[in-house]
């Protein structure tokens, strides 16, 4: 009889103290509440016309560090880091998609995990050493057509169609905008309203030609990338001017280090940037979920997934970013 009474008492206790983990997550931070995103002026908004921000973490090169990313690690980042978006950096070169096209299956697996976890997911066509986005434009058309066909009805999907156009000869009017118009048309033939992020010249920092020659798509944002130890007041003031021209900015990559990924964590400069982004309601994604031996990685070198679940294995940057993500804004 005593065992029966104890068992019955547990039935009444469990619903109170053993609540489902989902109930502990702030619902208005999730895709199921916010739905299809849209742009109003410089603001990202949810389906109700409320200003909304995405904050999260980017992968590093999937070919090198893809094993760190699975359903469990994404759930940990959602539940205990408070991210609502994850960026999949699918490199084109550097052992990426062009050489290893089957990497798209890893992309699909991560997308499916993020959708199941009610998060937003950014699919990043990560050009870097290829410089000009037009180098692999046919492959980009094929890839984004395939992804859009799979996920056109999912509000979770955001397309980042060219990571960092770079090189002295690569300019907005002649190279990046024509590429963007082609890829946007490819996506819009299938998915007519998802947010699209377009990289800008000089590693996503040059908006001079963008200001006078915008894309016509109403749900397109323009990428800003910065590394706090390298890019300081001058770039902040440039972006303040760009925002004043009513151009919607999305920080799809930023790091606490210098631009080479190293040289320590710049806490003061990182705080200044985050204060600036807060003031303008700008979404941001931190670089990167990796255990690479560099200071921008959120995990200590060669720790695998341990650091995601145990703060003892986080890098200095990882501890800083986790703390910043957990602040509600």
Residue 328's pLDDT is: 77
pLDDT for residue 14 is more than 70: no
Mean pLDDT to the nearest integer, 194-223: 98
% of the chain residues with pLDDT over 90? 91
Does residue 35 belong to any structural domain of this protein? no
pLDDT for residue 23 is more than 70: no
pLDDT for residue 142 is more than 60: yes
Confidence of residue 329 (pLDDT cuts 50, 70, 90): low
> Choosing from 253, 269, 294, 311, which is the catalytic residue?
253
Does residue 46 belong to any structural domain of this protein? no
> Choosing from 94, 138, 146, 164, which is the catalytic residue?
164
pLDDT for residue 5 is more than 60: no
Is 253 in the active site? yes
Does residue 213 belong to any structural domain of this protein? yes
Residue 26's pLDDT is: 81
Mean pLDDT to the nearest integer, 45-61: 98
Does residue 117 belong to any structural domain of this protein? yes
Is 76 in the active site? no
pLDDT for residue 219 is more than 90: yes
Domain of 181, CATH number, reads 3.20.20.80
Domain that holds residue 211: 51-325
Does residue 7 belong to any structural domain of this protein? no
pLDDT for residue 241 is more than 80: yes
Q: Mean pLDDT across the chain, nearest whole number?
A: 93
The pTM (predicted TM-score) of the whole model is 0.92
3-state secondary structure the chain: CHHHHHHHHHHHHHHHHCCCHHHHCCHHHCHHHHCCCEEECCEEECCCCCECCCEEEEECCHHHHHHHCCHHHHHHHHHHHCCCEEEEEEECCCCCCCCCHHHHHHHHHHHHHHHHCCCEEEEEEECCCCCCHHHHHHHHHHHHHHHHHHHCCCCCEEEECCCCCCCCCCCHHHHHHHHHHHHHHHHHCCCCCCCEEECCHHHHCCCHHHHHCCCCCCCEEEEEEEECCCCCHHHHHHHHHHHHCCCCEEEEEEECCCCCCCCCCCHHHHHHHHHHHHHCCCCEEEEEECCCCCCCCCECCCCCCHHHHCHHHECHHHHHHHHHHCCCC
Does residue 217 belong to any structural domain of this protein? yes
Residue 224's pLDDT is: 98
Total number of domains in the chain: 1
Does residue 216 belong to any structural domain of this protein? yes
Confidence of residue 13 (pLDDT cuts 50, 70, 90): very low
Does 27 or 106 have the greater pLDDT score? 106
Mean pLDDT to the nearest integer, 42-69: 98
Does residue 81 belong to any structural domain of this protein? yes
């Amino acid at each position: 009889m005593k065992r029966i009474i104890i068992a019955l008492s547990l039935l009444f206790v469990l619903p109170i103290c053993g609540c489902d983990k989902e109930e502990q997550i702030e619902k208005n931070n999730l895709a199921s509440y916010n739905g299809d995103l849209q742009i109003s002026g410089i603001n990202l908004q949810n389906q109700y016309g409320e200003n909304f921000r995405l904050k999260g973490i980017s992968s590093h090169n999937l070919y090198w560090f893809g094993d760190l990313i699975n359903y469990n690690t994404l759930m940990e980042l959602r539940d205990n880091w408070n991210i609502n978006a994850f960026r999949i950096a699918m490199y084109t070169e550097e052992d990426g998609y062009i050489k290893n096209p089957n990497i798209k299956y890893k992309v699909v697996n991560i997308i499916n995990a993020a959708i199941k976890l009610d998060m937003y997911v950014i699919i990043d066509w990560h050009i870097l050493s290829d410089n000009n986005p037009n180098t692999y434009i046919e492959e980009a058309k094929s890839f984004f057509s395939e992804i859009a066909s799979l996920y056109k009805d999912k509000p979770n999907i955001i397309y980042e169609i060219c990571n960092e156009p770079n090189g002295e000869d690569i300019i907005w009017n002649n190279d990046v905008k024509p590429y963007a118009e082609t890829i946007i048309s490819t996506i819009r033939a299938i998915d007519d309203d998802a947010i699209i992020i377009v990289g800008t010249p000089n590693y996503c920092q040059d908006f001079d030609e963008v200001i006078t020659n915008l894309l016509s798509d109403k749900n397109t944002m323009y990428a800003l990338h910065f590394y706090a130890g390298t890019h300081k007041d001058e770039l902040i003031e440039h972006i303040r001017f760009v925002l004043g021209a009513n151009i919607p900015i999305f920080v799809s990559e930023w790091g606490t280090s210098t631009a080479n990924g190293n040289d320590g964590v710049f806490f003061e400069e990182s705080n200044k940037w985050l204060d600036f982004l807060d003031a303008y309601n700008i979404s941001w994604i931190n670089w990167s979920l990796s255990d690479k031996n560099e200071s921008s990685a959120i995990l200590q070198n060669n720790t695998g997934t341990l650091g995601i679940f145990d703060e003892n294995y986080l890098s200095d940057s990882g501890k800083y970013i986790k703390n910043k993500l957990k602040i509600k804004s």
